[in-house]
Chains A and B, each alone.
Chain A
């Protein structure tokens, strides 16, 4: 019985990634009512920015190309 419980717990941990949510599932929003929206405080999580030179006109870039 103990072995079966251990396996079940390990499976549950693997599925939830140890954070209580099933892998791939989106956390439920903690929003409010339409006339009383919840205030969301930002956290800092900067993207991995790369230098594209001096600004000049409109630039668009993709993985394999760029437009300018």
Chain B
């Protein structure tokens, strides 16, 4: 999308279209899977429901989202043709809606109890991850995977300090923020077949399922250290999938994934770059 979030371009082999946010709106989300693109146009006053365009990448056909009316903003996730997004239910309850894009079929799902909410949705073939939180100060955060449409807290995280979560074939990857005043610094952990692994430091809010793996960003850990993209594989290995040319004062943008392809922006004194790679 453009720097000012006023337009989004969706380009395929045969089709290209530009979607404008429209007056009083900005593009808050651009999601893609193998077959679909979803463009979310949020009210800049963050009061009116978001408008959503759905593009069938096979035909280039553009349509409006079919399903419960979206809330303004919030966390969205797309896997295959299934879209997960926030909506409001009875008595302004904050609820999770799903839409099966191919079937033009949407429905309400679980609603957060009063004075609680949810965010940080992730979606893959292995499941849907979600962070729930309450209104205490600081908020008590719990990470969950959806089971039969309901969030179930995963085993492993320290109570109230988790942030990211993504499902894997035999468990989950999650993050914890050990120091409340250093919100961006997290430690990542994984569960696998009922055992638990420490994946080391990472950047809060960067966990991303893509292809067969879960990725997260690790900022430089020292002056001579590059920024890295870490990969937790189905073989239970932790791999450095990307290293920045810059060291020390270097950082990576939040990675994105579409149809098993990662896109990543890297910033530092050796130069900025945007790169993409297919995940094997």
Nearest chain A residue, comparing its CB with the CB of B169: A26
Q: Is the CB of A29 within 8 A of B259?
A: no
CA distance A67 to B29 in the complex (A): 11
**Distance, CA A38 to CA B199, complexed state (A):** 9
A47 within 8 A of B: yes
Contact B195 A29 (CB under 8 A): yes
Q: Is there an interface contact between B274 and A56, defined as CB atoms closer than 8 Å?
A: yes
Collect the chain A residues with CB atoms within 8 Å of residue B8's CB: 67-68
Contact (Cβ within 8 A) B196 A57: no
- Complex: how many Å from CA A54 to CA B253? 13
A7 at the interface (CB under 8 A from B): no
Q: Nearest B residue to A47 by beta-carbon distance?
A: B277
Q: How far is the CB of B211 from chain A (nearest CB, A)?
A: 10
Main DSSP-derived SS at the B contact region: strand
Most buried by B among A31, A55, A59, A67: A67
Scoring A residues 11 to 46 as 1 if CB is less than 8 Å from chain B, else 0, what string do you get?
Answer: 000000000000000111111111011111111111
**In chain B, residues 176-192, which have Cβ atoms closer than 8 Å to a Cβ of chain A?**
189-192
- Which A-B residue pairs are the 9 nearest by beta carbons? A31-B195, A29-B192, A47-B277, A62-B259, A55-B265, A37-B196, A65-B12, A62-B258, A49-B275
User: A64 touching B200 by the CB < 8 A rule?
Assistant: no
- Give complex CA distance A36, B263 in Å: 34
Most chain B CB within 10 A, of A48, A61, A68, is at A61
* A9 CB, nearest partner CB in chain B, Å: 26
27 contacts between A and B (CB under 8 A): A26-B236, A29-B170, A29-B236, A30-B197, A30-B236, A31-B197, A33-B196, A37-B156, A37-B196, A40-B197, A46-B241, A52-B274, A55-B273, A59-B265, A59-B276, A60-B30, A60-B32, A62-B259, A62-B260, A63-B261, A63-B278, A65-B11, A65-B57, A65-B258, A67-B258, A68-B11, A68-B30
Interface string of B22-58 (1 = CB under 8 A from A): 0000000011111001000000000000000000010
Q: A59: which B residues are within 8 A, CB to CB?
A: 256, 263, 265, 274, 276
A48:B277 contact, CB within 8 angstroms: yes
Count of residues in B whose CB is under 8 Å from the partner chain: 66
Which of the residues A42, A52, A64 comes within 8 Å of B276, measured between beta carbons?
A: A52
Contact B238 A40 (CB under 8 A): yes
For residue A61, which residues in chain B have a CB less than 8 angstroms away from its CB? 32, 256, 258, 261, 263, 276
Name the residue on A nearest B197 (C-beta): A31
Which residues of chain B from 228 to 275 have any CB-CB distance to chain A below 8 Å in the complex?
A: 230-231, 234-243, 253, 256-267, 272-275
Report yes or no: A38 in contact with B195, Cβ–Cβ below 8 A.
yes
- Give CA–CA (A46, B71) in the complex, Å: 39
CB of A5 within 8 A of chain B?
A: no
Interface residues of B in 125-181 (CB under 8 A from A): 155-156, 169-170
A50 close to B (CB within 8 Å): yes
Q: Is B61 an interface residue (CB 8 A)?
A: no
A54 touches B274 (CB 8 A): yes
Give the residue name and chain of the A residue nearest to B16 (CB): A65
Chain B residues near A44 (CB, 8 Å)?
239-240, 243
A57 contacts across to B, CB distance below 8 A: 1-3, 5
* Residue B91, interface by CB 8 Å: no
